[in-house]
């Protein structure tokens, strides 16, 4: 792979290499990339050895195989190059039709050709970083004794109670069988009941934690939320650990440790990609007014997260800070904070992180009325042991809680929130047989990738984004 050859440890050896042409200049110098690194390797050919018909086929996007000697480069811009003895064209690329020409393309244009955008420097860097973050997550949990659980993608339960779910059915939509009262007769469906794509693997992870003590899920989740923002997707990946014999403090510690571990892993293993993305961000922000530019360069921001303990405070303390803040008093917030109990929006979360504390923030003890049924109610009977982690530029990146382990309390909360207990006896059994204090959280993987790469649109950090009106590729 090119990444290995560029280390310069195989000078003098005969090399066999495959890749895609980025540029071909002077009928002599081929910039070749195989995806292993953001950097190209230069192939030097003697154009007198090749017919014009072959040379004309060496275009951006062409797949080639080459053999030759790895030598120290005499030219500027690279340490080594390959003196080609044999070249074979594996797959042609018509320069009149190939959309990725050697020029700057807009991110909007590249979203339209998401099947080819991996070949650009920007998206090559993003998806190598995504790969490293994914590996680091598995490594962190494996090294800390967690069991990896695959939770179902098709489910009959709504873990969040949000109701924004994609229905799964084999019924003929042009001729849906009906019950006597006119509703769809799901008894005739494949699963003989209404089913959906999962919004979370948490409830099943809780079952696993009650046997293995420490488990995590890492898989796709789905929200049928008609949202066209730069922070929402209809299909995204979630990391959801669950730990038994643990309280909300253990939960916060785990989340902070995980985030710092994976960011450090990426800095250690993808520095070249991050440096490229940092420069891309600097160039992009030159078009913005000074007050809209990032206060820290990308790598500085990542190191800042590593080097600072996350600020921990209660929702109540946060509300008091926000109510007294200048943007709130001067009505600069889109959503004005005028009372305790308000659901915090991204603008409020980012104010706390970026303006007030200037470091990542963990908010705890939210009003129970705006949180899910499974969260443990505090002694004040007004708040729950929930925690959200807020990051600069992103807002909420982690949401978690201590779970209610007491059966009677959980049943009471389910009744208050109209969650049908009879359909969830399997979940309630963990409170009947050997119940124990436990906690967990969800980390939106794409939001993590967004933060680490410095990208501004979540559609650019997942290979094939799904959002309202778009299920292309």
Q: Judging by DSSP bridges, how do beta strands 195-197 and 167-168 pair with one another?
A: antiparallel
Domain count along the chain = 2
Question: pLDDT-derived band of residue 280, with 50, 70 and 90 as boundaries?
Answer: very high
Residues 42 and 139 in one domain: no
Tokens representing 229 are 């923002």
Residue 402 has pLDDT above 90, yes or no: yes
Do the domain assignments include residue 41?
yes
pLDDT at 179: 94
Residue 187 lies in a domain: no
Let me know whether 124 and 92 are in one domain. Answer: no
Res. 161 pLDDT band, cuts 50 70 90: low
**CATH number (domain holding residue 268):** 3.30.930.10
pLDDT at 78: 84
**CB-CB neighbours of 175 under 10 Å:** 7
Kindly state the average pLDDT of the residues 400-418.
95
What distance in Å separates the CA atoms of residue 240 and residue 205, rounded to the nearest whole number?
Answer: 8
- To the nearest whole percent, how much of the chain has pLDDT over 90? 87
CA–CA distance, 359 with 130 (Å, rounded to integer): 23
Q: Is residue 159 part of a domain?
A: yes
Of 99, 133, 153, the one marking the end of a domain is 99
Q: What is the CATH number of the domain that holds 25?
A: 2.40.50.140
Per-residue model confidence as pLDDT tens digits over 288-312: 888 778 878 999 999 999 999 999 9
Q: Same domain, yes or no, for 92 and 139?
A: no
Q: Range with the lowest mean pLDDT among 143-152, 220-229, 327-336, 339-348? A: 220-229
pLDDT of residue 296: 86
Instruction: Decide if 313 is inside a domain.
Output: yes
pLDDT band at 82 (very low <50, low <70, confident <90, very high): very high
Q: Is residue 110 part of a domain?
A: no
Q: pLDDT confidence of 455, banded at 50, 70, 90?
A: very high
Q: Mean pLDDT over residues 44-60, rounded?
A: 94
Are residues 128 and 19 part of one domain? no
- Rounded CA-CA distance 415/408 in Å is 11
Note whether residue 472 is domain-resident: no
| Cα–Cα distance measured from residue 359 to residue 143, given in angstroms and rounded to the nearest whole number | 28
Q: What is the largest CA-CA distance in the chain?
A: 85
Q: Which domain holds residue 9?
A: 2-99
* Mean pLDDT score, 410-439: 93
Structure tokens at 280: 């891309």
Which of 99, 129, 155 is a domain's end point? 99
Mean per-residue pLDDT of the chain: 94
Check pLDDT > 60 for residue 162.
no
């Amino acid at each position: 792979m090119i990444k290995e050859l560029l280390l310069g440890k195989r000078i003098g050896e005969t090399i066999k290499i495959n890749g895609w042409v980025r540029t071909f200049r002077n009928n002599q110098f081929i910039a070749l990339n195989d995806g292993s690194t953001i950097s190209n390797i230069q192939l030097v050919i003697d154009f007198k050895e090749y017919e014009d018909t072959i040379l004309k086929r060496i275009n951006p996007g062409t797949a080639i195989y080459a053999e030759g000697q790895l030598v120290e480069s005499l030219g500027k811009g690279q340490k080594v190059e390959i003196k080609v003895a044999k070249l074979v064209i594996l797959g042609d690329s018509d320069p009149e039709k190939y959309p990725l020409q050697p020029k700057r393309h807009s991110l909007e244009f590249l979203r339209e050709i998401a099947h080819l955008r991996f070949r650009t420097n920007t998206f090559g860097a993003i998806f190598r970083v995504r790969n490293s973050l994914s590996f680091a997550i598995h490594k962190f949990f494996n090294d800390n004794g967690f069991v990896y659980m695959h939770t179902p993608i098709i489910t009959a339960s709504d873990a969040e109670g949000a109701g924004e779910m994609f229905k799964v059915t084999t019924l003929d939509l042009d001729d849906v069988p009906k019950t006597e009262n006119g509703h769809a007769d799901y008894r005739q469906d494949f699963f003989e009941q209404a089913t959906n794509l999962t919004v979370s693997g948490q409830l099943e992870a809780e079952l696993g934690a009650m046997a293995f003590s420490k488990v995590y899920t890492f898989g796709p989740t789905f929200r049928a939320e008609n949202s066209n923002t730069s922070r929402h997707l209809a299909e995204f990946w979630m990391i959801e650990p669950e730990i038994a014999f643990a309280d909300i403090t253990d939960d916060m510690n785990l989340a902070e440790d995980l985030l710092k571990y994976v960011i450090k892993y990426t800095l250690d293993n993808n520095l070249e990609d991050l440096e490229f993305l940092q420069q891309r961000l600097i160039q992009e922000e030159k078009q913005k007014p000074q007050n809209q530019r990032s206060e820290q360069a990308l790598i500085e921001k990542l190191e800042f997260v590593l080097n600072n303990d996350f600020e921990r405070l209660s929702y109540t303390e946060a509300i008091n800070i926000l109510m007294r803040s200048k943007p709130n008093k001067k009505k600069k917030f889109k959503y004005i904070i005028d009372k305790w109990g308000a659901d915090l929006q991204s603008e409020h979360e980012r104010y706390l992180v970026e303006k007030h504390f200037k470091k990542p923030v963990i908010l705890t003890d939210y009003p129970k009325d705006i949180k899910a049924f499974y969260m443990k109610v505090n002694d004040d009977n007004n708040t729950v042991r929930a925690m959200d982690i807020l990051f600069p530029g992103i807002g909420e990146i982690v949401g978690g809680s201590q779970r209610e382990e007491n059966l009677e309390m959980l049943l009471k909360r389910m009744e208050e929130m109209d969650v049908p207990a009879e359909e969830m006896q399997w979940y309630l059994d963990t409170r009947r047989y050997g119940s124990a204090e436990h906690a967990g959280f969800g980390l939106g993987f794409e939001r993590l990738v967004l933060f680490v790469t410095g990208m501004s649109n979540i559609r650019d950090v997942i290979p094939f984004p799904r959002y309202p009106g778009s299920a292309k590729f």
